[in-house]
Amino acid sequence: MTPGGRGTTPPGLPPGWNEHWDEAFSSADVDGLVPCRVIRIDKGGITVARQPGDELLVVAAKSARRVVVGDVCALDPEAGRIEQILPRRTVFERRSPGVSRDQLQLSARAVAANMDLVYVLQPLDPGLNTMRLARELVLAWESGATPVVVLTKADLVDDDVAAAQRAEAERFAPGVEVHCVSTRSDGGLDTLGDGRSPNSVVALLGASGAGKSTLVNALAGRPVQLVAEVRDSDRRGRHTTTAGQMVQLSDGSLLIDTPGIRSVGLWSADDGLERAFADLVPFAQQCRFDDCTHTNEPGCGLLGAIERGDLAADRVEAWRLLAIELETLEEGLEERDREHRRQRNQRARRRSKRRDLVALGDEDLDEAQWADDDELS
Ligand SMILES: Nc1nc2c(ncn2[C@@H]2O[C@H](COP(=O)(O)OP(=O)(O)OP(=O)(O)O)[C@@H](O)[C@H]2O)c(=O)[nH]1
Ligand SMILES: [Mg+2]
Ligand SMILES: [Zn+2]
């Protein structure tokens, strides 16, 4: 925890502690262990807080190696070792970095846990990217937390431009609160706080340069995260934040800024997709064909809704692209599982062949080896 943070957590308990964690901790098998919360993960290791203001560098037992910022854990205080991760209430997961959609080694990586809200940040300058917003909302919903859209850098655009982009964001985020903020003029930061209750945990999601760390610093009222100028040439960020960190605000709420959640590769997110596109779902259910691709079929509920003006074409297109991406991912996962099973069976067959060979006399060996080669070819 960053020194100076005043929480509403009772003394002696980790930041963001509440009845849920009380119950979860007391029903876990934690004899001799104490509760803690992971507040930073960087090259130096894992830092936890046993109470607000506390910072302790620890290690993790093998079973707890995959801790992420926000995790609530059981700590062996003598050994300085995390023994257990308590079940996560929400978790932000994304596809592992560097793994493309069509490769077999698909895997998920958790990057933040136990948040109540996800602030989805998009800068008003250079401007809203609705496709990215749609994708980020899918991920935010999928985490189990509630998304809030935060349009940043309001001081860089005229009011009418901000209003138009806000309307566009609302169109792409039905049922989600949308805020325009500026950290330069303090604009909108107070109303953003109205949605947080003491002890609520907020993760920040957004592209590099969107202003996540600047927002953390502004809300914390002190420089707790590094900030870098966006490049003038292309207005892109520089991937400044290299460690995940949880910061406590004076109202007791906790913010999580992690480099892992600025990039947004979808990971199995069917529920998230349905939540983010809840406005489309009733129309999709009207399609005449179960395997409708919503591109040219007669009796397509979505195309009909576009024609009647009930849905916007760009919104349906965003949904179609994300749905295809998820489907491709699922197929990739199935393929990966099939491949794993095939390799396992092959290894088992080879092992049993080897056992047979040992049991056979020398003169039978050649023939048996030929049989093995036949089978493999
Ligand atoms: N004018 C203006 N600039 C802002 C505002 N918020 C952020 N910036 C600038 O945007 C740039 C990027 O901000 P960061 O907070 O580092 O962005 P980030 O999202 O944390 O980026 P990564 O750590 O790379 O993921 C910095 O130059 C900030 O000063 C704002 O409200 N107004
Ligand atoms: Mg940052
Ligand atoms: Zn259809």
- Are 149 and 134 in contact by the 8 Å Cβ rule? The answer is no
The amino acid at 272: G
Q: Is the pLDDT of residue 365 over 50?
A: no
Per-residue tokens: 20 = 């849920």
Q: Is the pLDDT of residue 369 over 50?
A: no
| Residue indicated by tokens 């109470």 | 51
| Shortest-distance Cα residue to atom 16 of ligand 1 | 227
Please say whether the dihedral angle defined by the alpha carbons of residues 346, 348, 351 and 356, taken in this order, is positive or negative.
negative
Residue 362 is inside which H or E element, if any?
none
Q: Is the pLDDT of residue 262 over 70?
A: no
Query: What confidence tens digit (pLDDT) does each residue in 123-174 have?
Result: 999 999 999 999 899 999 999 999 999 999 999 999 999 999 999 999 999 9
Output the CA 332–ligand 2 centroid distance in Å. 32
| Three-state SS annotation for 37-73 | EEEEEECCEEEEECCCCCCEEEEECHHHCCCCECCEE
Q: Is the pLDDT of residue 326 over 90?
A: no
What is the CA angle 17-79-242, rounded to 5?
Answer: 60
22 confidence band (pLDDT: 50, 70, 90): very high
- Are 262 and 270 in contact by the 8 Å Cβ rule? The answer is no
The model's pTM: 0.82
Ligand 1 site, residue 218, Cβ cutoff 6 A: no
Query: What confidence tens digit (pLDDT) does each residue in 88-116 have?
Result: 999 998 776 555 554 545 667 888 999 99
Q: What is the pLDDT at residue 374?
A: 34
Please say whether the dihedral angle defined by the alpha carbons of residues 344, 345, 350 and 353, taken in this order, is positive or negative.
positive
In angstroms, the CA 321 to CA 102 distance is 16
Q: Which whole-number Å values give the CA distances from 28 to 32, 69, 72, 86, 115, in the listed order? A: 12, 20, 12, 8, 21
| Shortest-distance Cα residue to atom 25 of ligand 1 | 208
19-85 in CATH: which number? Answer: 2.40.50.140
| CA count, 13 A, side-chain hemisphere, 351 | 6
In angstroms, the CA 221 to CA 230 distance is 22
User: Given ligand 1 and candidates 180, 182, 225, 227, which is best to mutate, with the most ligand atoms within 8 Å of its CB?
Assistant: 227
Q: Which whole-number Å values give the CA distances from 58 to 1, 4, 37, 84, 176, in the listed order? A: 14, 21, 11, 13, 38
Ligand nearest to the CA of 261: 1
Query: Which ligand 1 atom is the nearest neighbour of the CA of 121?
Result: 19
- Are 72 and 51 in contact by the 8 Å Cβ rule? The answer is no
Query: What confidence tens digit (pLDDT) does each residue in 233-244 have?
Result: 555 665 556 678
Ligand 1 site, residue 184, Cβ cutoff 6 A: yes
Residue 311 is inside which H or E element, if any?
none
Say which CATH superfamily domain 91-261 falls into. Answer: P-loop containing nucleotide triphosphate hydrolases (3.40.50.300)
Ligand 1 site, residue 263, Cβ cutoff 6 A: no
3-state secondary structure of 124: coil
So where are the chain's domains? 19-85, 91-261
What single-letter DSSP state applies at residue 88?
P
Q: What is the pLDDT at residue 10?
A: 58
Q: Radius of gyration over alpha carbons of the chain, in Å?
A: 25
DSSP 177-220: -EEE--SSS-TTHHHHHHT--TT-EEEEE--TTSSHHHHHHHHH
Q: What is the pLDDT at residue 230?
A: 61
Checking 354-357 for CB contacts under 8 A at 24+ apart, the result is none
3-state secondary structure of 225: coil
| Residue indicated by tokens 């130096």 | 44
Q: Is the pLDDT of residue 6 over 50?
A: no
Per-residue tokens: 340 = 């794993």
3-state secondary structure of 95: strand
| Shortest-distance Cα residue to atom 3 of ligand 1 | 153
- Are 74 and 30 in contact by the 8 Å Cβ rule? The answer is yes
